[in-house]
A and B are shown apart, each in its own frame.
Chain A
Amino acid sequence: MNKRYITHASSRLPVRELTEDERKLLRKNFSPLAARRLTSLSLILGDLTKDAPASPDDEWIFASSYGGSISLEQYLRSFPNPSPLHFQNSIQPGPIDLVNVARQQPARQLIPLIGAENLLGEALLTALISPVDTMHLIGGEEHTNWAADHQLGSQTTYGFYLRLSTAPQNTIGELTFEPNTPPPSPLSTEDAIPLLDARKPLAFTLPERGVIRLQWS
């Protein structure tokens, strides 16, 4: 349980919102029909995972505090005539469901986690206790004005992806769990992304339980 190897890592640093040019570029990862339904977070997740091999026996973890905020806000705005399209896209875990449906990529399991300060640490622990050989840990947020203005959504737009394996081949780093270790300083998911992007060592506290460390080869 205590170790997984990182075979692929990619991230997109936090910005307030994607520009139209950025969205246009990211849409090229999908067919035009599929791309029309994808909001910023789905476009980012699609881009981060486009070069990572996946199989139907793999498990996916989707870590996001707010999920598909843009579809959610569009659905809220559609009342009193609720939009069926925005409704189905707003249901957690819509952003990653849409990507995998567009790719017709079945999976053993998708575990969508929601959380605040410990979200990334809990997601890494979830990967460590999975019995399958390959885990895809993916996450991120997307900004929308109404939700962000009322602290009901993310202030920024970003994403990250780690492909984790039990096999020590073609590795670029490793993930370990150390029970009963003194905790490092707290690290939010958003603060962790630049460190992940720069391949810096990371440590996440799981209160009273231990520390999860992410180190690069």
Chain B
Amino acid sequence: MNPRPDVFLHACDCRTALGNAQDSWQSLIDGQIALAPTPPLSGSDDRVPLALTGPLAEVSPPRWLAASLELLAESPKRPWGSARYPIVVTSSNFGIDQMLAFHQDPEAVECSTRATAVSAVEAIAESLGWGANRIILSNACVSAQLGLIHATRLLENDLADEALVFSFDYLSHFVVGGFHSLKILNADFPQPYAARKTGSIGLGDGAGFAVLSRQPTPYRLAAATTHSEFHHMTGNHPTGSGFDAVIAPLAKAATGHRIWVKGHGTGTLEAGCLEAEAVARALPGAPLVSWKGSLGHTLGSCGLVELAIARIAIEKNQAPGTIGSQAPFCADNVTAKPFALNDFTGVILLSSAFGGAHAGHLLLRE
């Protein structure tokens, strides 16, 4: 059996409420918090932390369309969607804002044309002239990292020369109302990994892309793992076994490297502590950070958004700390302040989702 070929990161970028990957990285280093108190529903007296790139309104054309096209205009020019250049599109929202708008106003017929995942992706594909070799993948907040894994497998099996992974999640009352109804999106700002009495999250707009190839670059996707607990729809197994299952293989793959960890860290109490403790067990001494205390949780796209920011951090030799969080933390490895990366050779990137889904990547700088 032939060994699997190595797969490398050729290009990536993102859009957040703080700008592109470079601007987002700089703002995170400066300690800027993009989240701002915002009503979760029209007429609500409540305020919840959202990091928006535009008004929280279901409008036509949707906010995500122009933003996606603008971001993708910066991706390398290839015959995307042709036989050897597949596209993997991921999201946990797609055009759900348009679905809500049409449901609430049957006269908003134009919204219905971009309301499903397929039609939302088609709207982007038509504008960019993409071919038919594209796949749509959605597993809540691990979507983007699953997209990276699918693209990697296409490359490993010589079904592609290069692969484009694109993810977009723009907030609407659909998702903001949903998390607010679950009470984990509340008036408190998120403090990932902080040992507080209660947890809370923030949400943010986000989109990102990555181009993967077998041609070497300094950034190798050296390992990827996934695990689905299926213990509870919105909770993790209390032993942290799900986090262990995804982190341990990455720690093993990182043997001999000095590693830092960009965790999922949304600000929920139980999951945050389980993740921090699992990282500390598997990678003693590896600094752990989360950026969702500033950017908010960019949902299905967080894996690509945070990959793009991590790559800038590696280029600049400085990683942003866990913005917005204050000690005491769930584990000693949580790092609040920015730190130098001169001595580090790799980063582990983690995300988690409903159903106890976990995904992780090891990105090595070579």
B-binding residues in A (CB < 8 A)? 1, 60, 65-66, 72, 75-77, 79-84, 87-94, 97-98, 100-101, 103-116, 118, 122, 125-126, 129-131, 146, 150-152, 206-209
What is the CA–CA distance of A91 and B85 in the complex, to the nearest angstrom? 29
- Given A65-B118, A87-B181, A93-B138: A150 and B102 within 8 A (CB)? yes
User: How far in angstroms is the closest Cβ of chain B from A207?
Assistant: 5
Nearest Cβ on chain B to A124's Cβ, whole angstroms: 12
A76 to B103, CA, bound (A): 7
A115 to chain B, nearest CB (A): 6
Q: How far is the CA of A89 from the CA of B132 in the complex (A)?
A: 30
Residue from B136, B183, B227 within 8 A of A113 (CB atoms): B136
Q: Is B92 an interface residue (CB 8 A)?
A: yes
B115: chain A residues within 8 A (beta carbon): 152
* A152 B116 Cβ-Cβ under 8 A: yes
- Which B21-51 residues sit within 8 Å CB-CB of chain A? 41-43
Q: Is the CB of B133 within 8 A of A80?
A: no
B222 → A minimal CB distance (Å):
15
What is the CA–CA distance of A50 and B117 in the complex, to the nearest angstrom? 29
Contact in complex: A118, B230 (CB < 8 Å): no
Residues of B within 8 A of A125 (CB): 159
Count B-side interface residues using an 8 Å CB cutoff: 57
CB-defined A-B contacts under 8 Å, sample of 6: A76-B174, A79-B100, A106-B227, A114-B136, A129-B153, A207-B133
* Distance of A180 Cα from B318 Cα, bound (Å): 47
Q: Are A207 and B132 in contact (CB under 8 A)?
A: yes
Query: Is the CB–CB distance between A114 and B182 below 8 Å?
Result: no
Among the stretches B231-239, B253-261, B263-271, B335-343, the one at the interface with A is B231-239
Given contacts A79-B177, A101-B355, A152-B99, contact A114 B117 (CB under 8 A): yes
Q: Mark B202-238, 1 if CB is under 8 A from A, else 0.
A: 0000000000000000000000001111111110000
Known contacts A97-B233, A152-B102, then 19 further A-B pairs from the complex at CB < 8 Å, ordered by chain A residue: A80-B41, A80-B43, A87-B182, A88-B234, A88-B354, A91-B354, A92-B92, A92-B117, A97-B355, A104-B230, A106-B242, A110-B355, A111-B137, A114-B137, A125-B159, A129-B153, A152-B115, A207-B133, A208-B82
How many Å lie between the Cα of A92 and that of B139 in the bound state? 6
Whether a CB of chain A sits under 8 angstroms from the CB of B140 is: yes
Chain A residue with the shortest CB-CB distance to B175: A87
Q: Is B180 an interface residue (CB 8 A)?
A: yes
A87 to B102, CA, bound (A): 18
Q: Are B133 and A76 in contact (CB under 8 A)?
A: no
- Are B178 and A82 in contact, CB atoms less than 8 angstroms apart? yes
From A1, A88, A91, A208, B133 is in contact (CB under 8 Å) with A208
Closest to A126 in B: B150
Q: Which residues, 104 to 142 on B, are CB-close (under 8 Å) to A?
A: 104, 112, 115-118, 131-133, 135-140
Give every chain B residue within 8 A of A112 (Cβ-Cβ). 137-139
Instruction: Verify A91–B231 contact, CB threshold 8 A.
Output: no
Residue of A nearest to B113 (CB): A151
**Once the chains are docked, how many angstroms separate the CA of A118 from the CA of B81?**
14
Q: Do the beta carbons of B228 and A104 come within 8 Å of each other?
A: no
